[in-house]
Chain A
């Protein structure tokens, strides 16, 4: 009887998606609700949590270090968007060009960095950006007669190091996304345009860019997410979560600091909820503007 029930065409789909439902409820919805609840509580070691209403949130708004973390994360996100969308797109178009030599080699070479773990990549970059005269970047600057710089101690130079790491790791990946987008553009479009006498630049702006829009939106969405949630990169570059003057502190870093280092679970939960809100607002706005919610299929 049970077997017959489970094997019916009505029940089978639920059996198939059951693992997702379970994972979604247990490891996603429940913790999220939990987190939401916790953000209205004050938790102290070994004591019952207290309900404190919006205290955590109002404290957050006046917390200079949190605002610093938000600023850092947002600037990081914007800078990664500004670099990691146009350049990979350009590279994809160029590498797809029929005049390209060694296409497969360059595809692989560009992709290599994505294979390294953040721990390894971060360590390499920390040592490259070391303040010693002999470190890679400083010895390079030395070739131009520049003094060694303390990259990881200044705000602007700190951003440079972070962005360099992100650019290094993600250029190849994003390029591959755009390449797959390019595959879906039929060649006849370009041929027709050539017959009409369009220049290469016109073809790029009139055909390539509009038709790459779905890919661009996808890359944009995951980049916003990744930019705002960045943490380990900073942790590895500064060998810990405490960068000088908090120049490398991110929102997730602050969540980690409050929740794990200071046991302020309630306050950390509020940080998490704010991050969720920021991510959702930015992403949904972006998707709405790009017309993703229009009925399709």
Chain B
């Protein structure tokens, strides 16, 4: 008994010592929580900020340093908490509902955003702080996060969707990505790639609707009609999925671990060279540089293939809004800071430099010294310059509406319908009709 007590004592003291040293080494990054001082003095206001993307915190850190230098009497410390996507949005939703525990500033992803605008939004209007930047930014990106003329969230990027090709595999198969203009071209190339290399040309996504959205956008269609009713069994949608199904049946595309290119499993598959193409918004670039280092110098960016020549070759996909909550400590300070950190010209240049996103201040797109800076990690990584492609499709970037029905539509398509079509081989029309029925039922 004595002996055992001693062992317990040792273990306990070991634990306490361990936790002691943990406390001192608790600072920035690594995926969780950190307080960013960014040169703030003692009188700085501490604001809390939630996000589900660690990189966003890094961008804020850079902008915070500039802010604290420029506003010595209104300095800020930012307390960043990074949580997984679902958890962060759930916690935020509950906190806003109950009025307790919400951060001052938070990110909200486009797919979840409509839920936060339902009823009376528990978010602060940003109209006043947006005013001075209005001229320089894309109006549609403000509209995307507005309700009845009030802006509640500040967009991070345009998210122009492009095609990312692995040129190494294409060369091996004797395919030139520049020749791919239509989906027929893509299919032909894909068959050739599969025959020559045994690799898949692309993915059949089951857990995201990027592909459906871009195919609808190029046909001028949408997932909801003008009065926000779901129309997931529209002829355009059937055409889109029938085409994808045909690609899958011909071994051009295949389902991927993780269900879509923007998952950790999929990064691994791409990195291993098992898939050639990803059709993703431009922000996928940062996933390449961060998680697929082995593909450096092999990935080319190109406009999306289309059904018929002349159709628009891109659409703005995904997005994250930064909001200020009603319970924020210092509402005005928080608002001014996020406007500065996301809308100012400096911020937009930083958004490209640090995050590799296509900034919503389009004047940045024309700044050759910024976009073609040879020191930039994204410029270095890719075969061609992303902005050459962006400027080529500049006037073809369509939008898919974000409505109150969108979260439900996404949920049904991503958990049930796409799996049925691509994993179980269910008939496209049948699956989409069932989806439509389920969505209508859920929305009641």
- The interface residues of chain B lying within 8 Å CB-to-CB of A44 are 119
A selection of 19 A-B contacts at a CB cut-off of 8 Å is A45-B118, A46-B97, A46-B120, A132-B265, A153-B419, A153-B423, A240-B86, A242-B86, A242-B414, A244-B207, A244-B259, A244-B416, A244-B423, A245-B420, A246-B416, A260-B94, A261-B86, A261-B90, A263-B97
Tell me the complex Cα distance, A47–B122, Å.
13
CB of B314 to closest CB in A, whole Å: 28
Taking chain B's interface residues, is the majority helix, strand, or loop, or is none over half, making it mixed? helix
Task: Tell me if A130 counts as interface (CB < 8 A to partner B).
Answer: yes
- The interface residues of chain A lying within 8 Å CB-to-CB of B122 are 46
Tell me the complex Cα distance, A45–B99, Å.
12
Restricting to B104-130, which residues have a CB under 8 Å from any CB of A? 115, 118-120, 122
Task: Tell me if B268 counts as interface (CB < 8 A to partner A).
Answer: yes
A residues lining the B interface (CB < 8 Å): 44-47, 64, 130-132, 150, 153-154, 240-246, 260-261, 263
CB of B159 to closest CB in A, whole Å: 22
Contact A244 B206 (CB under 8 A): yes
Contact A245 B86 (CB under 8 A): no
Name the contact of B423 in the complex, choosing from A45, A150, A243 (C-beta under 8 A). Answer: A150
Task: Tell me if B415 counts as interface (CB < 8 A to partner A).
Answer: yes
Task: Tell me if B411 counts as interface (CB < 8 A to partner A).
Answer: yes
- The interface residues of chain A lying within 8 Å CB-to-CB of B438 are 64
Tell me the complex Cα distance, A153–B423, Å.
8
B residues lining the A interface (CB < 8 Å): 84, 86, 90, 93-94, 97, 115, 118-120, 122, 206-207, 257, 259, 265, 268-269, 411, 414-416, 419-420, 423, 438
Name the contact of A132 in the complex, choosing from B207, B259, B268 (C-beta under 8 A). Answer: B268
Contact A243 B415 (CB under 8 A): yes
Contact B86 A241 (CB under 8 A): yes
The total of Cβ contacts below 8 Å across the A-B interface reads 53
Taking chain A's interface residues, is the majority helix, strand, or loop, or is none over half, making it mixed? loop
Return the chain B residue nearest A64 by Cβ. B438
Contact B93 A263 (CB under 8 A): yes
Whether A244 contacts B265 in the complex (CB less than 8 A), given A45-B97, A47-B119, comes out as no
- The interface residues of chain A lying within 8 Å CB-to-CB of B414 are 242
Tell me the complex Cα distance, A289–B411, Å.
43
Tell me the complex Cα distance, A207–B106, Å.
64
Return the chain B residue nearest A59 by Cβ. B444
Return the chain B residue nearest A132 by Cβ. B257
Tell me the complex Cα distance, A132–B257, Å.
7
- The interface residues of chain B lying within 8 Å CB-to-CB of A47 are 119
- The interface residues of chain A lying within 8 Å CB-to-CB of B93 are 260-261, 263
CB of A131 to closest CB in B, whole Å: 5
Return the chain B residue nearest A261 by Cβ. B90
Name the contact of A244 in the complex, choosing from B97, B115, B257, B415 (C-beta under 8 A). Answer: B415
- The interface residues of chain B lying within 8 Å CB-to-CB of A241 are 86
CB of A10 to closest CB in B, whole Å: 39
- The interface residues of chain A lying within 8 Å CB-to-CB of B257 are 130-132
CB of B97 to closest CB in A, whole Å: 6
Name the contact of A245 in the complex, choosing from B115, B265, B268, B416 (C-beta under 8 A). Answer: B416
Tell me the complex Cα distance, A197–B322, Å.
80
Contact A242 B94 (CB under 8 A): no
- The interface residues of chain B lying within 8 Å CB-to-CB of A130 are 257, 265
Contact B415 A242 (CB under 8 A): yes
- The interface residues of chain B lying within 8 Å CB-to-CB of A132 are 257, 265, 268-269
- The interface residues of chain B lying within 8 Å CB-to-CB of A153 are 419, 423
CB of A267 to closest CB in B, whole Å: 11
CB of B83 to closest CB in A, whole Å: 13
Tell me the complex Cα distance, A47–B268, Å.
46
CB of B111 to closest CB in A, whole Å: 12
CB of B140 to closest CB in A, whole Å: 27
Name the contact of B119 in the complex, choosing from A45, A64, A243 (C-beta under 8 A). Answer: A45
